[in-house]
Chains A and B, each alone.
Chain A
Amino acid sequence: MLDAKRLTILTESAKYDVSCSSSGSSRSSRGGIGNTYAAGICHSFTQDGRCISLLKILLSNQCVYDCLYCVNRRSNDVPRATATPDEICQLVMEFYKRNYIEGLFLSSAVFKNADYTMELLLETVVRLRKLYGFRGYIHLKGIPGADSLLLNRAAHYADRMSFNIELPSEKSLKLLAPQKSKKAILAPMGAMAEEYKIARQEKNKAVLPAGQTTQMIVGASSETDGQIIRLSQALYDRYSLKRVYYSSYVPANNQTSLLPTTPVGLLREHRLYQADWLLRFYGFSAEEIIGSEQNLDPALDPKCAWALRNMGLFPVEVNTAPPEVLLRVPGIGFKSASKICHARRFSKLDFDDLKKMRVVLKRAMHFITCGGKFYGQESLPAVRTLLTLNEMPNTMEQLSMFSSPDINLSVLGGEL
């Protein structure tokens, strides 16, 4: 059994991977123990406000690579530990039965070499599924450079796999993660996307039911928000990723002038998540979100910023605008849009009705009319100032929601 000391080491070295969601898969416990729930479930929240859904752990933190931004890099003097596949399985089962977790998020440093590491990861998930009959959630990190046969087999046991892009450009990779290349990361992502597509065509839902995700570190290198958002859009389009995670860089005991010494503000990460949300759910393109700017406006949420650049499209009439148009109004999210569409079937809505329905009018009023009446400000600079002022006290509140997983994000969607 894994003891507290190794558990500590293997947790400490896994925690900077931000993805923890257990969503996207729906499977019954038939013939085993455990199931998965499409919306995902949060089991706890740590003092940094992040959700715990999966047991996020490394099989080993003994790395042969030397990526400068990473705590586990070879040249860093930290305690090292390795667990056996069976030790991980036992811990997952015991935690799962106590309802501490939805499942496992297993990753590893490159221990000896990529193939060897991937074999151990694969052995762990096969064991967990076959020997322990575990039917809960498994998110497995793919080791770039490992044999594609190993990766493909893993895809038949995991709910979700991820290959981390790590840095948003090839140049930064060369600089900060000399042993990694864009190709070594993108190739398996492409292969997985292919595997996934074929399985779906054959109606085989057992291959990666929750798809692929990736993560990039923001703020360790010099890319702009524009570059990052365009990259995300390409990843969603080309590799049918379910999700791109952005992790603001936290200095991990690095002594190099190539990396910043202070962590990136959470605000930037927050704005990127908002932009990403617009890409995935609101039908916006990278072009619309970032326009010709280099970076997102820190003072405004990206939907407001977009609306201000496109004042010609507003105001829209809440009683007649189609749902997809309502969704583009700042202050109207999925929940309010749906409430509006339902309610207006009964009778015309006025400004007070929207207030009762908890539409965020402070923002929305500049972009809508109710029964032809307009309550907002006409002048663009005035609207901008008001929106920026509104934003201030909200920001912390929203930051909190954004760092949590899907279920809370969907709540937040109501205000974005």
Chain B
Amino acid sequence: MIVYKTPPTKQGILCALFESFTQKEVPNVVTSSDFQPTFDCVVKDIKIDQKIADRVEKGLIKSGGISLLSTLFYALRSNDGLKETTIFSVAHKCLVARKNLVTNYKDPDMINLYEINSRIANEAHRLKGFLRFEKTAPGVWYARISPDNDIIDLIAPHFKSRFPNERFLIHDLKRNLVCMCDGRSLKTIKTDQALLVCLHQDEHNFQSLWQTYFDHVTIKERFNPKLQDTSLPKRYRKNMVEFAPRQDTLEFN
């Protein structure tokens, strides 16, 4: 069994492809995570070389066009442990066939890639709705997210064009990424520090009004929490104010 170890990047995969073609071998697994080698297994660390990566990239474009590149590397955002192997296999097959095979769904690799990409796109779409901003004392908007896939770059432009001139931060708590918008451009940085957020004095009032709205718009006769769970999986709720404990005990009937 042959295992290629490579960073989870476009460059990494492209260099792995090069290795495979020059060595005339097809790895069983391509991975970025630590692999527990068994006795019959050869693990190769793939060397990264930008020039080689560029060459392979050109080859891919020649085989399947620019759209092949974007379909392949869109999948890098996935949390699927097999993503590198899948991207690698699809790319390998397209290079061999000299054509774009991603819609040849008879092939399990193509179906896997399709499904990985659909999960990313679906989650990005969901989070455009589920993300919640809080107003901080200095007037900057702050949102926490913990998505399964690394989708911050897919959603931030949506908020930038929706709220022109607003300054905001989107914080991916799982990956310690913060995407910042100063009202004009977006920038994402990695930070391991906890962010100290001081909320604006109005914030509590609007959060509690939203909770009030949320509670009262439910039709109790049609209570159906199972349906709610499929549409809005529990893992997203920790960052959503309507699922936070109610602070006002005052109830109106």
Residues of A participating in the B interface, judged by any CB pair closer than 8 Å: 2, 4-5, 7-9, 11-12, 14-16, 28-29, 33-35, 37, 39, 41-53, 55-56, 91, 94-95, 97-100, 102, 250-251, 263, 266, 339, 342-343, 345-347, 349, 353, 356-357, 396-397, 399-401, 403-404, 407-408
Does B201 make an interface contact (CB < 8 A)? no
For B105, give its contact among A56, A353, A401 (CB under 8 Å). A353
For B161, give its contact among A29, A41, A95, A347 (CB under 8 Å). A29
Contact indicator A263/B221 (Cβ below 8 Å): yes
CA distance A39 to B124 in the complex (A): 13
Contact indicator A346/B166 (Cβ below 8 Å): no
CA distance A205 to B127 in the complex (A): 29
Does B5 make an interface contact (CB < 8 A)? no
Contact indicator A100/B106 (Cβ below 8 Å): no
Q: A41-B129, A44-B242, A356-B111 given as contacts; is B105 within 8 A of A29 (CB)?
A: no
Contact indicator B219/A7 (Cβ below 8 Å): no
Q: Closest chain B residue to A18 by CB distance?
A: B219
Instruction: Known pairs A400-B227, A401-B230; list 20 more (Cβ under 8 Å).
Output: A7-B209, A7-B216, A11-B217, A29-B162, A35-B161, A44-B129, A45-B228, A46-B228, A91-B209, A95-B210, A97-B135, A97-B163, A98-B210, A99-B143, A342-B103, A347-B104, A357-B111, A397-B230, A404-B227, A407-B125
Chain A residues within 8 Å of B218, by CB: 15, 46-48, 50
For A343, give its contact among B105, B209, B223, B232 (CB under 8 Å). B105
Does B213 make an interface contact (CB < 8 A)? yes
CA distance A315 to B141 in the complex (A): 57
Does B192 make an interface contact (CB < 8 A)? no
A-B contact pairs, 28 of them (CB 8 A): A2-B209, A4-B209, A5-B252, A14-B217, A29-B163, A33-B166, A41-B128, A43-B129, A46-B217, A47-B223, A47-B228, A48-B218, A48-B223, A48-B228, A53-B129, A94-B202, A97-B141, A97-B166, A98-B134, A98-B210, A98-B241, A99-B159, A339-B105, A347-B106, A401-B230, A401-B231, A404-B231, A408-B231
For A4, give its contact among B130, B212, B214, B230 (CB under 8 Å). B212
Contact indicator A52/B212 (Cβ below 8 Å): no
Does B73 make an interface contact (CB < 8 A)? no
CA distance A39 to B209 in the complex (A): 27
Contact indicator A396/B225 (Cβ below 8 Å): no
CA distance A342 to B71 in the complex (A): 15
Does B222 make an interface contact (CB < 8 A)? yes
Instruction: Give the Cβ gap from A315 to chain B, nearest Cβ, in Å.
Output: 20
Q: A5-B252, A41-B128 given as contacts; is B210 within 8 A of A28 (CB)?
A: no
Contact indicator B216/A346 (Cβ below 8 Å): no
Contact indicator B223/A44 (Cβ below 8 Å): no
Contact indicator A356/B161 (Cβ below 8 Å): no
- Ranked 5 nearest A-B pairs via Cβ: A49-B227, A400-B227, A342-B103, A343-B105, A48-B222
Q: A51-B231, A400-B224 given as contacts; is B105 within 8 A of A98 (CB)?
A: no
Does B59 make an interface contact (CB < 8 A)? no
Chain B residues within 8 Å of A48, by CB: 218-220, 222-224, 227-228
Instruction: Give the Cβ gap from B137 to chain A, nearest Cβ, in Å.
Output: 15
Residues of B participating in the A interface, judged by any CB pair closer than 8 Å: 101, 103-106, 108, 111, 114, 125-126, 128-135, 141, 143, 158-159, 161-164, 166, 202, 206, 208-210, 212-214, 216-228, 230-232, 240-242, 248, 250, 252
Q: A11-B217, A47-B218, A99-B143 given as contacts; is B129 within 8 A of A343 (CB)?
A: no
Chain A residues within 8 Å of B225, by CB: 47, 49
Contact indicator B106/A400 (Cβ below 8 Å): no
Chain B residues within 8 Å of A15, by CB: 216-219
Chain B residues within 8 Å of A357, by CB: 105, 111
Number of A-B contacts (CB under 8 A): 177
Residue from B129, B212, B248 with most neighbouring chain A CB atoms (10 Å):
B129
CA distance A391 to B97 in the complex (A): 42
Main SS of chain B's interface residues?
A: helix
Q: Closest chain B residue to A338 by CB distance?
A: B103
CA distance A47 to B219 in the complex (A): 8
For A99, give its contact among B133, B214, B224, B250 (CB under 8 Å). B133
Contact indicator A95/B206 (Cβ below 8 Å): yes
Q: Closest chain B residue to A22 by CB distance?
A: B129
Contact indicator A49/B228 (Cβ below 8 Å): yes
CA distance A37 to B124 in the complex (A): 14
For A98, give its contact among B104, B135, B230, B248 (CB under 8 Å). B135
Instruction: Give the Cβ gap from B217 to chain A, nearest Cβ, in Å.
Output: 5
Instruction: Give the Cβ gap from A406 to chain B, nearest Cβ, in Å.
Output: 12
Instruction: Give the Cβ gap from A73 to chain B, nearest Cβ, in Å.
Output: 18
Contact indicator B130/A44 (Cβ below 8 Å): yes
Chain B residues within 8 Å of A102, by CB: 129
Instruction: Give the Cβ gap from B122 to chain A, nearest Cβ, in Å.
Output: 8
For A29, give its contact among B111, B143, B164 (CB under 8 Å). B164
Contact indicator B226/A346 (Cβ below 8 Å): no
For B106, give its contact among A39, A91, A356 (CB under 8 Å). A356
Instruction: Give the Cβ gap from A282 to chain B, nearest Cβ, in Å.
Output: 22
Contact indicator B221/A250 (Cβ below 8 Å): yes
Contact indicator B226/A400 (Cβ below 8 Å): yes
Chain A residues within 8 Å of B216, by CB: 7-8, 11-12, 15
Chain A residues within 8 Å of B213, by CB: 7, 11, 55, 95
Instruction: Give the Cβ gap from B125 to chain A, nearest Cβ, in Å.
Output: 7
Q: Closest chain B residue to A353 by CB distance?
A: B106
Chain B residues within 8 Å of A407, by CB: 125
Contact indicator A50/B219 (Cβ below 8 Å): yes
CA distance A37 to B226 in the complex (A): 28
CA distance A8 to B209 in the complex (A): 9
Q: Closest chain B residue to A15 by CB distance?
A: B217
Instruction: Give the Cβ gap from B194 to chain A, nearest Cβ, in Å.
Output: 22
Chain B residues within 8 Å of A56, by CB: 217
Q: Closest chain A residue to B134 by CB distance?
A: A98
For A342, give its contact among B105, B130, B221, B226 (CB under 8 Å). B105
Instruction: Give the Cβ gap from A326 to chain B, nearest Cβ, in Å.
Output: 14
